[in-house]
Structure 1
């Protein structure tokens, strides 16, 4: 703070006269740079006292301002520091939770780059990825059945499982946690009995083989850590020996469409966007982020399809651009009549797609472009269906240029025929009038071991 010093010259000089006193004004020379400049003695005394007083006042004011500024700064910073500390203390215990609590999905750690939910972190990096999406009409019982059969099939011993949900659902969160607990109890229960008993108890359909989840891990080889969640230090290098028998199972993660497609990319082209179409707008982001981490990818609709065995066995040994698409007769589900009655028409179905990582990513990108292109050409914005678009895309020469398409002539069997033969890896749920849950749970609970693991076994 600057201090301004103002000098006031004495302009009143008294002189005596015989008749009266006359006040005369004498100019004072203020040429400070002149060597002959001098001040009157009275002015020196007056100004010295005034200057001393003003200097003291200025010092006091500066000290007061400085003290006030420091006090205000200290007070203003105290609440933010306290809030930050409170936030750190609030979030710290929540990061350490691995299960689903009553507060919902936020209690679980993120799956990838601050997005998604990590329900279970696998034991190692996997080469295969199953991406299962839930449509709006999927019930909790159907979801639990899909997940239970998938765990029992042994597929999760070699694959990671990724769910795509229409929205956040505490019901699905609890179902995932329950089935994960059932799976771990089932593996532990079978490990406590001998091999003969295990073979006898696993005769029920669909059979559970605990040997799928026990691997001989060579410590000299680097198996790699899962890409999901935070990286942890592996204990394999700290143990003696060259080989160890360990559990091997993949990670279970989940994402909402709002995380993978936050801008709702198709909202400008369609009035109503069902999950069957919006899922194609989610694949480019998630598959692009995990590219080169997986060799094979399966896209599956949990409402229509159940996995009883490893679906990747059909494409082992193919190139990364290969994609397997299944077909079915047109009168099975489409209800259309062929123009030529003597010619049977087969249509590709998008409920299950299996292929190499590169081929599935390219096919999903082309499908998204096909949805946008067709919606622009259509006069009615809601006349676009996934089945029609997928068949239109499969027959396009553009797909053949970028994807090595493998069209299977075998239809996916229904669950009733799969139960009788028990040699199918992918089945359809089939007739809605048949209580699939009751039939399968009756078969699963026929095992003495499994009936003690699942709490919902029928009495």
Structure 2
């Protein structure tokens, strides 16, 4: 009815005027809405012209509406068309990797719920998580070496890596990005050099490199296309997986690398009211409850490791696969570390908190109990600043109440000391706390002893024997 009132305003005005003329109740003079005087009448030819104009206007309005509808449908169709697919080649994969490196040099996105830094988003969701914390005395060179050995060991092919820093550090940020680039170069160089060398002279891969990129390669089957995305960073429509060697049936798979500082995980400094001096070795236990609760049910196994004390030469989760989610494995300290004397009582073995491996539920419960033990001990008289992390952890390990919450398993083996004869195949983890050994030199010499690694890592030139 509104359309007819707009198209035929004269007839509507005439109806209102006629109604008012015959209204006996109205005392006011009716208002004449007509533009012409009452005695004036339009000729029949003019009425036909007016009808034709109105019909033309109606047709124009209908045409405009149809045109707008067609335009909207056309734009919607174009926007929903799938992108053009091209055959993936080695050059395309290298270009994407280079683009990722350039984008990573700028401001990094948040890792989780507006916190942390996402250094590298993995190709899929992992079941294992390595949480490595940095103490105040950790040097950038020691940190780079830890991360390099972790990539080299193949552990990051099945695990996400989470760093906990005492504070924000641009030096550590640059080190993470550099080692991520080295990792991608190592995969590329291995694929090209090892393939060509094997075909030409038949040398084995062990003589060329100790790095095995097969850990990072999986078949691109229909099952892998429906794998879960990583929880870190923003969700994407497709994973960041890249083709390996141009073969469409294979793709790289690796975990995410993220970092948090203690001010994000423990903004109120929970232990400040109980201890005068809070080292990073103790404050990290106040950081675990927040981050481990937020990622609960996303990981099956978790490792807590001190980067200053321990380096990983193999996947730490290989020894606990198949264990229950409440199980927690800890290692013992060398028997001569306790006040320089050997501990002959095996029931009172000294365990070390430098590396803890276990199921998700067991590690979370252990972290909560350790935080409670720190607070309880600090409230005792004259114990405010005397307790150390190792003493508190052994005190907790000997508490019978712990066994009701956590299935603590003390391994018979201890973390081995680093020596000049250390090799990747001898030990899964090595302690680098010996004061009479140049730890960094031995580890770097171990890595740079292979031709491929010495060609990729730019700092190997001083460790290669001439």
TM-score range, shorter-chain basis? 0.7 to 0.9
1:418·1:424 contact (CA, 8 Å) conserved in 2? no
Instruction: Identify if the C-alpha distance between structure 1 residues 98 and 227 changes in structure 2 by more than 3 Å, giving closer, same or farther.
Output: farther
SS of 2:211 mapped into structure 1: coil
1:98·1:119 contact (CA, 8 Å) conserved in 2? no
TM-score, scaled to structure 1: 0.72
SS of 1:449 mapped into structure 2: helix
Indicate the residue corresponding to 2:21 in structure 1. none
Instruction: Identify if the C-alpha distance between structure 1 residues 282 and 387 changes in structure 2 by more than 3 Å, giving closer, same or farther.
Output: same
Indicate the residue corresponding to 1:110 in structure 2. 110
Following superposition, the deviation at residue 232 of structure 1 comes to 0.6
Length, aligned pairs only = 352
Q: 1:309 aligns with which of 295, 309, 314?
A: 314
Deviations 1:108-138 (A, max 9, x none): 1000000000001111110000000000000
Following superposition, the deviation at residue 414 of structure 1 comes to 1.5
SS of 2:351 mapped into structure 1: strand
1:442·1:458 contact (CA, 8 Å) conserved in 2? no
Alignment partners' CA distance in 1, 2:142 and 2:134: 10
Alignment partners' CA distance in 2, 1:281 and 1:250: 25
Following superposition, the deviation at residue 409 of structure 1 comes to 1.6
| 2:289 paired with 1:284 | yes
Indicate the residue corresponding to 1:258 in structure 2. 263
Following superposition, the deviation at residue 372 of structure 1 comes to 0.4
| 2:333 paired with 1:328 | yes
Instruction: Identify if the C-alpha distance between structure 1 residues 150 and 203 changes in structure 2 by more than 3 Å, giving closer, same or farther.
Output: farther
SS of 2:412 mapped into structure 1: coil
Q: 1:434 aligns with which of 437, 450, 455?
A: 437
Pick the structure with greater CA Rg.
1
Deviations 1:127-151 (A, max 9, x none): 0000000000001111011000000
1:250-399 → structure 2 map (5 Å cutoff): 250-332=255-337, 334-335=338-339, 343=345, 345-399=348-402
Indicate the residue corresponding to 1:165 in structure 2. 165
SS of 1:112 mapped into structure 2: coil
1:200-239 → structure 2 map (5 Å cutoff): 200-203=204-207, 207-221=210-224, 222-234=226-238
2:126·2:159 contact (CA, 8 Å) conserved in 1? yes
Alignment partners' CA distance in 2, 1:188 and 1:426: 27
Alignment partners' CA distance in 2, 1:412 and 1:197: 37
Following superposition, the deviation at residue 448 of structure 1 comes to 2.3
Following superposition, the deviation at residue 422 of structure 1 comes to 2.7
Instruction: Identify if the C-alpha distance between structure 1 residues 287 and 276 changes in structure 2 by more than 3 Å, giving closer, same or farther.
Output: same
SS of 1:331 mapped into structure 2: coil
Give ranges in structure 2 of 5+ residues lacking alignment.
1-100
SS of 2:458 mapped into structure 1: coil
Alignment partners' CA distance in 1, 2:168 and 2:179: 18
Moved more, 402-411 or 156-165: 402-411
SS of 1:323 mapped into structure 2: strand
Instruction: Identify if the C-alpha distance between structure 1 residues 230 and 182 changes in structure 2 by more than 3 Å, giving closer, same or farther.
Output: same
Alignment partners' CA distance in 2, 1:317 and 1:235: 28
Indicate the residue corresponding to 1:404 in structure 2. 407
| 2:451 paired with 1:448 | yes
Alignment partners' CA distance in 2, 1:258 and 1:202: 44
2:330·2:357 contact (CA, 8 Å) conserved in 1? yes
1:97·1:109 contact (CA, 8 Å) conserved in 2? no
2:159·2:254 contact (CA, 8 Å) conserved in 1? yes
Moved more, 344-353 or 272-281: 344-353
Alignment partners' CA distance in 1, 2:222 and 2:127: 19
2:122·2:240 contact (CA, 8 Å) conserved in 1? no
Alignment partners' CA distance in 2, 1:393 and 1:399: 7
